[in-house]
């Protein structure tokens, strides 16, 4: 089997000073990509900045192994700073092909106790940050007629999790963003996919037991990022759960549905509620138009 490589490709990895981002950056660089290692250098809760050693150390690791990389210390949560991350790639390497939206923070707190700042900061880094960096990169990818976007969601975003209303909301928002960019980018050769990783990082160290973290090395996640970033990948608008050697496609599905003749009443709905909830013949939808089409078709056929 031919090796998957990234020679002549330029990649940005956000939040790449440690954990998953560092692992992604090292893998891409080891296979020939020229990498912008972006990390603000802040704490897990998003406070502080300027601890640039993290990005610099990863750049040094890549260069010591014979790869090419530059550091970026800009935050992702503002349009201006996100644009500087993309400019760093273009100034250093002349173009941009791959964007790995990985940067994130945690401010876990029960919904009752959550402040507006807790909500705003988490959404700005995860959701706004993914949007700002991707939007700044978009003209470069379109100009190339080629691009790979990999976004980062989580099980909390897909299924919800106690104490993470802010994080879960941001992470599911990222799925909607990534799927829409998949549709908008396909005719330009831009593919957009999402990973839902579980791995040892600064963020998971606070919520997972050490014995579990030992089995969840970031290096089990990065090969999926590598494949989704490659020319060999043809998938787009997909979500993949990955961690500890486990990889699985995740799909948002819709049941076959129920069509009601005449007026829909609360009582009539109650009588057929089990049918409404039936997912035995559920399937994923390619886009919003297909989903709307099923609803109209079932309604008209009843």
Q: Which residues are catalytic, by number? A: 167
- Please state whether the predicted TM-score (pTM) of the whole model is above 0.95: no
Superfamily of domain 10-250: NAD(P)-binding Rossmann-like Domain (3.40.50.720)
* Cβ atoms within 10 Å of 292's Cβ, excluding its own: 11
The residue that leads in pLDDT, 212 or 101, is: 101
Residues 6+ apart with CB under 8 A from 210: none
pLDDT at 216: 84
Residue 52 has pLDDT above 90, yes or no: no
State the average pLDDT over residues 120-147. Answer: 98
Q: Which residues pair with 150 in a beta bridge?
A: 100, 193
N-term to C-term CA, the chain? 52
Q: Please report the pLDDT score of residue 53 as a whole number.
A: 87
For the chain, what is the largest distance between any 2 Cα atoms, rounded to a whole number of angstroms?
72
Predicted local confidence at residue 218, as pLDDT: 93
How far apart are the C-alpha atoms of 270 and 255, rounded to whole Å? 17
**Domain range summary for the chain, segments of one domain joined by +:** 10-250, 253-301
């Amino acid at each position: 089997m031919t090796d998957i490589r990234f020679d002549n490709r330029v990649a940005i990895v956000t939040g790449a000073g440690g954990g998953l981002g560092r692992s992604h950056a090292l893998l891409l660089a080891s296979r020939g990509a020229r990498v912008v290692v972006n990390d603000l250098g802040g704490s897990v809760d998003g406070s502080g900045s300027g601890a640039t050693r993290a990005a610099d150390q990863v750049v040094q690791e890549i260069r010591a192994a014979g790869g090419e990389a530059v550091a970026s210390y800009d935050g992702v949560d503002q349009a201006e700073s996100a644009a500087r991350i993309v400019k760093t790639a273009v100034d250093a390497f002349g173009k941009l092909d791959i964007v790995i939206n990985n940067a994130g923070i945690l401010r876990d707190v029960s919904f009752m106790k959550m402040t507006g700042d807790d909500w705003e900061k988490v959404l700005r880094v995860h959701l706004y940050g993914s949007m700002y960096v991707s939007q700044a990169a978009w003209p470069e990818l379109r100009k190339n007629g080629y691009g790979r976007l990999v976004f980062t969601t989580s099980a909390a975003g897909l299924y919800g999790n106690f104490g993470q209303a802010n994080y879960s909301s941001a992470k599911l928002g990222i799925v909607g963003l990534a799927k829409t960019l998949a549709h908008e980018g396909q005719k330009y050769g831009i593919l957009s996919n999402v990973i839902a990783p579980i791995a040892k990082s600064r963020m998971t160290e606070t919520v997972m037991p050490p014995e579990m973290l030992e089995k969840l090395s970031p290096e089990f996640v990065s090969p999926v990022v590598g494949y989704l970033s490659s020319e060999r990948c043809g998938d787009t608008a997909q979500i993949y759960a990955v961690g500890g050697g486990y990889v699985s496609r995740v799909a948002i599905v819709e049941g076959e549905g129920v069509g009601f003749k005449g007026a829909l009443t609360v009582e009539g709905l109650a009588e057929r509620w089990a049918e409404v909830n039936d997912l035995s013949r559920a399937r994923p939808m390619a886009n919003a138009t297909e989903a709307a089409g099923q609803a109209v078709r079932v309604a008209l056929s009843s």
